[in-house]
Amino acid sequence: MTASGEFVPVSVRTEMAHAHVQWLAQARGIRLLHIKGAALDPSLRWEGRDGSDADILVPYSRTQEIVTAMCAAGWTMGITFQHNSSFEHASTLRHAEFGWADIHRFFPGLGGDADETFDRLWAERRQTSLGGLACAVPSLPAQALILLLHAGRSPGIRTARDIEVAWTQADPDQRALVTNLADELDARVGLAAALGNLDDFRDRPEYDLWRIASRGGTRLEDWWARVHAAPTRRDAVRTVLRAPLVNREHLRMTLWREPTTWEVFVEFFARPARGLSEESRRLGSWWQARWRR
Amino acid sequence: MVASEVASVTEPNATQGFRLPPDVAVVQAPLRDDAASSPLIYLSHLPSGSLVVLDGSAALIWSEALASGPTGAMVERVAERAGVDPATIASDVATFTEALVAGGYLVRRTA
């Protein structure tokens, strides 16, 4: 028997992470749906597609409970929900033995009430084994839809292959199952971002958010898109007020240590300046393009 | 040591065998750059989260301990897979099996 000082592959740590969180959830009667990566159905994987963290979807109403349980069981908070992405959908935690886990309180692109959406996905769940524990995963169409929604806001080589496997190579019946589910879960905007017809949904409040996520944008554009997509006026105001605040968590991860007061102070002024600089460059490019015509 | 004595060393009650405890996670993974060899077995107690890895004969003994049915001859199966005389490994197999039980990575089946 060898102690854990040995090299442990990321794939092993990730699967253990799924099992660990499953165990914690089971002890508290919390339902989980394990998504992407190690939890993905083999038919949706391509060779070399390895996950580097454990992605887990939790009912929105029980998210804090599972995060608290994880922190009590050796996990440390990396990035909170508010600072992880423009959609504020997931929190990243780290365990010394099991690596990283992303706890999703909802999945970007799946609309409607988050708890009700979870219930809908749960109703057609499948089961897989992760770390020897029985773990629930979404149905095959739901897994495909989740992959596509992720691809829609994270364009790249890997997600391009996900689109190929989950959509391009799918037969008409499989595609119909995905689009029907997208209709049911109000996920057409995010799906369109993945499939290249996002502009068909310009009238939707979340259009700008998905446009920036899929095509890029300045920091200010991102913030205004968040404001525009906020479900309530209070959420919109909260987003505006948070705009100049320093993302201390992100700064911590960038510096690999706790930032000093001076570094936070400098970042407070640097953030808006970077935002204005990006906006100036964008407007400058636009103006130059007009001048050249 | 004759076969019946070998069996009694590792299986005080030959009808029992072993099972995986409910609070142990297990992942099997091949050795890097050597997919043809026996996989490594990673174990972790839940929720404490301390990882251990079994390789080679350790992994073999653990696997066969779980595979042993009510009338399993675990030592003989281990010996056959390792290509050795059962009598030469019986003591070591017994010792290691007890270590796995004491460490909480195996549980004796109850009747």
Contact B27 A12 (CB under 8 A): yes
- Lowest average pLDDT, out of A8-12, A110-114, A131-135, A244-248, goes to A244-248
Q: Is A132 on the interface with B (CB under 8 A)?
A: yes
Give Cα separations from A62 to A118, A125, A178, A208, A270 (angstroms).
11, 18, 27, 29, 36
pLDDT at residue A182 greater than cutoff 50 = yes
B70-98 residue pLDDT tens = 445 888 888 888 899 988 999 999 999 99
Cβ contacts (< 8 Å) between A27 and chain B: which residues? 47
**Mean of pLDDT over chain A:** 85
Percent of chain A with pLDDT over 90: 58
How many whole angstroms separate alpha carbon A45 and alpha carbon A37?
8
| pLDDT for position B71 | 43
Higher pLDDT: B77 or A25? It is A25
What is the SS3 assignment for A225? helix
CB atoms within 10 A of CB A224: 18
Q: Is the ipTM of this complex over 0.90?
A: no
| pLDDT for position B1 | 39
Tokens 């992100």, residue located: A250
Cβ contacts (< 8 Å) between B49 and chain A: which residues? 16, 20, 73-74, 95-98
- Interface size between A and B, measured as CB pairs under 8 A: 70
Higher pLDDT: A275 or B103? It is B103
pLDDT at residue A283 greater than cutoff 80 = no
| pLDDT for position B13 | 44
| pLDDT for position B2 | 43
| pLDDT for position A3 | 47
Contact B25 A95 (CB under 8 A): no
Q: Is B46 on the interface with A (CB under 8 A)?
A: yes
Cβ contacts (< 8 Å) between A132 and chain B: which residues? 20, 24-27
Tokens of A22: 């499953």
Higher pLDDT: B17 or A170? It is A170
Percent of chain A with pLDDT over 70: 75
Higher pLDDT: A208 or A290? It is A208
In what helix (H) or strand (E) does residue A91 lie, and over which residues does it extend? strand A90-95
- Lowest average pLDDT, out of A16-25, A40-49, A164-173, A251-260, goes to A251-260
pLDDT at residue B33 greater than cutoff 60 = no
Classify burial at A138, counting beta carbons within 10 Å of its beta carbon; exposed 0-12, middle 13-18, buried 19 or more.
Answer: buried
Q: pTM higher than 0.90 for the full model? A: no
Minimum distance, in Å, between the CA of residue B58 and any CA atom of chain A: 7
| pLDDT for position A247 | 63
Contact A16 B52 (CB under 8 A): no
Mean pLDDT of B52-64: 91
